Chain A
Amino acid sequence: MIGILKGLATTFSTFTRHPVTIQYPDEKHALPERQRSFPVLTWDFDHDEPFCTGCNICARNCPVDCMTTVMHDNPKHPEGTSDRRKIIEKFWIDYARCMRCNICVEVCPFEAIAMDNNWSGHEHSVYDRRDLHLDIEDLLAVSKSGELANPFRPLDSIEANAALAEGEDAPPAGFQGGRPEARAAQAERVAQGQGAAIQEREPEVQEAAAGAAAGGTAQDDEVATMSPRKLRARRMKAERDARTEQETGEVSAETIAALRRYASEVYTEITGEPVPPIGTPAVAAAAPAAAGTPAGDVGDPNSPRKLRARRMRAERSAGEHLERGEEVPAETLQALNETESELYKQITGNDPSGTAPAAAAPPAAPAEAGAQGDPNSPRKLRARRMKAERTAKEHLERGEAIPDDLLATLAELDATIPTAADGSGGTDSS
């Protein structure tokens, strides 16, 4: 009986104590600083853009693959309001998959993602599971609105602890750019009539207004640094567009400009004008485009980094040719020349001139270097010859006579004209 009475006494004592219930939506217990609910992206108030550059480190390290990112070139970079060349374009996190392990926050090199340590981070109940798949605007909303007042960076704690162990001062806390102080500073800048973002450096000068008005757009300048494959792809797209438009009516000016830009033969067909060389701006007759550094979407094509990239590309392709025992094609040699590559000296024995493409001496071949290189290069001639021979043979196999124009081509290319009994193709004669 004593035990029963003791039990009764215990329950009586709890009867007299205050209930420990916290009435949830009305009262909420204070969340600690380290609270992890769900990841959100941080907003850089100093530069009025997200911190995230889309490097994908978080997505790669996520155990449950809940994130998807797409990056693009940062439009603020040429404006001079940001140092980031690439910035995030699209970002999705599936909160239904996220297991809130904090790994993404730990590995992010830019302090771009943080765990939402507010109550709103926990209140994500939805009726449809697909609504838990948040896109970048939702992810940025918490930080932009200032609600993410005190994001916690786990590595801060580790670094502080390591510093203390070494006897040094603790490093400053992380997430500086996303804190309320930065937000307040931005509000002040806006209130004082300045831009929302700090101007880091002078904006890169854009092309002359006349050039812009006459249609010389950034795309024209981009062409100079485009790879051959890309140029070919663009040209084929322009040609395709032109054909479609031709069927329905007239070809638009945009398409004509594109055809011109990418040195398409169709341009000659449509307008009757010869195709200018690649890289020539639309208003070649007017001011030379080399007046100011053409600042395109990708910046100065002659910047040291771009030159270096071009040189390395040229060296690489030259190296491949040499390995295969072939001759280095002319355009590669030209690139090596322009970018002052040492390989040029090795191959040709001459010092590279390092001149800009606009001032390059026209090559000996009569045709300008097009997107595909010199049409009369040995390789091209050989290819054309072999094609002609092959076609002639097909005709013969079908029992037809070789057409005259094909005969003319064969003659021009010094090909052996196959006969019906001849089973072999032409020999390499160069």
Chain B
Amino acid sequence: MSVWPEERVTPNSDLDTVDMTVNVGPQHPATHGVFRMVLTVDGERVVDCEPYIGYLHRGLEKLSENADYRQAMGWWDRTDYLAGMCCEGAYVMAVEKLAGIEVPERAEYIRVLMMELSRINSHFMFLGAFGADVGSFGTSFTYAWRERERIYDLIEEVSGDRMFPTYFRIGGITMDLPENFESRCRWVLGSIRQGLEDLDGLLTGNEIFVERCQGLAPVTPEQAIAWGFTGPMLRATGVPWDIRKAEPYSVYPQMNFEIPTGHQGDVFDRFHVRLAEVYQSARIIEQCLDEMPAGRVLAPKLAKTLRIDDGELYMPTEGTKGEYGVYLMARGGTQAYRAKLRAPSFSNLSPLKELVVGTYVADAIVILGSLDIVLGEVDK
């Protein structure tokens, strides 16, 4: 079997042991997407870890250079496919800022509402899958999925499609909210609270869960910043950095919400931070519903096909996994000259080796789960 790297002998041991190579391959129930991790284990301890990515590379940035701004949006949805509208929002806001288009206020409120719904969606996915990684046999999975289905139904009512809504457009949104949206949204928020209580009761206080997760792969704030962590990974270490507060965009300055932080940046804290963020997102959604102004949803007098003169811009947004940044360079014409995605999952995944070496194999899986990566972003 020549597929594996050379088997190494662990030095400085009295026993003549040989390290084993465990391939947590691209098809595996534990890796969140097509991701390959080659672990070298000495007994139960992980000695080395080599991640392989690129199985989901679809050429997003190159495609964006060959399509005009409206056409490209459909592909940006598919990067963080768990939270479609957050990605759309980032791209569309970058284009609007570069083109100098002003978006009506109602459209901004609706956008923030949909982005926070997508954030809740993504965090529920994490909560469900993380419980499955830790071993609770899929119960957390089904609880999380119950709520996600309700959110998807809501998104379907608004935009027509569940996962890839292509709902935003440059200058506003594609269509206004349907009629009974507000009551349905409040009902879904209530259901989300119930789902969170279920997950909370199932996992958070559970002694076994705490034993598994606490103290696992702690990260100091300096390390986190040096590694380029953003989002819940960074906030779990105690650094209160949230782009919605630090470099606000859209109508976030008018929203009241807090930033949950952790203490020592271990797996347990990351879980908690994401759980708490769902509550905060629910708060934001309620404020949007209460304060939604009437008015236009699309900027008037838009060109049929948008042309942007020379310019470049980097637009950071708080994506669900961290800082989802869009770097856009235009040189006239209807197509972007360069569109780059700064994917948070890519940066969060990079120091995997540092985090995993020295832990048990089972813990390696749990740590990977706690990073909450989505391969669409990592591979673009």
Give 1 or 0 for each of B64-99: 1 = CB within 8 Å of chain A CB: 000100111111000000000000000000000000
Question: Which of chain B's residues have a CB closer than 8 A to the CB of A3?
Answer: 204-207, 209-210
Q: Is B178 an interface residue (CB 8 A)?
A: yes
Q: Is A391 an interface residue (CB 8 A)?
A: no
Q: From the candidates B160, B202, B207, B298, name the one contacting A11 in the complex (CB within 8 A).
A: B202
Question: Which of chain B's residues have a CB closer than 8 A to the CB of A100?
Answer: 161, 164
A residues 15-73 in Cβ contact with B at 8 Å = 20, 29, 31-36, 61-63
Quick check: A63 and B74 within 8 Å, CB to CB?
yes
Quick check: A34 and B178 within 8 Å, CB to CB?
yes
Question: Which of chain A's residues have a CB closer than 8 A to the CB of B246?
Answer: none
A334 to chain B, nearest CB (A): 42
Segment at the interface with A among B42-50, B259-267, B289-297, B353-361: B289-297
Quick check: A34 and B157 within 8 Å, CB to CB?
yes
Distance, CA A154 to CA B167, complexed state (A): 10
A residues 323-371 in Cβ contact with B at 8 Å = none
Q: Is A2 an interface residue (CB 8 A)?
A: yes
Give 1 or 0 for each of B161-179: 1 = CB within 8 Å of chain A CB: 1001010000000111010
Segment at the interface with B among A74-82, A157-165, A282-290: A157-165
Give 1 or 0 for each of B184-208: 1 = CB within 8 Å of chain A CB: 0000000000000010011111111
Q: Is B327 an interface residue (CB 8 A)?
A: no
Quick check: A115 and B160 within 8 Å, CB to CB?
yes
Question: Which of chain A's residues have a CB closer than 8 A to the CB of B153?
Answer: 29
Question: Which of chain B's residues have a CB closer than 8 A to the CB of A29?
Answer: 153
Question: Which of chain A's residues have a CB closer than 8 A to the CB of B298?
Answer: 158, 161-162
Quick check: B156 and A154 within 8 Å, CB to CB?
no
Q: Is A396 an interface residue (CB 8 A)?
A: no
Q: Is B146 an interface residue (CB 8 A)?
A: yes
Distance, CA A2 to CA B201, complexed state (A): 10
Question: Which of chain B's residues have a CB closer than 8 A to the CB of A33?
Answer: 178
Question: Which of chain B's residues have a CB closer than 8 A to the CB of A106?
Answer: 174
Question: Which of chain B's residues have a CB closer than 8 A to the CB of A164?
Answer: 294
Best-buried of A9, A62, A99 by chain B (most CB within 10 Å): A99
Q: Is B220 an interface residue (CB 8 A)?
A: no
Question: Which of chain B's residues have a CB closer than 8 A to the CB of A4?
Answer: 206-208
Quick check: B206 and A6 within 8 Å, CB to CB?
yes
Residues of B within 8 A of A (CB): 67, 70-75, 139, 143, 146, 149, 153, 156-161, 164, 166, 174-176, 178, 198, 201-210, 294-298, 300
Q: Which 5 A-B pairs have the closest CB atoms?
A: A3-B205, A10-B201, A157-B175, A63-B71, A36-B160
13 A-B pairs in the complex with CB atoms less than 8 angstroms apart: A3-B207, A20-B146, A29-B153, A61-B71, A99-B164, A101-B73, A101-B74, A102-B160, A102-B166, A106-B174, A154-B174, A157-B297, A161-B176
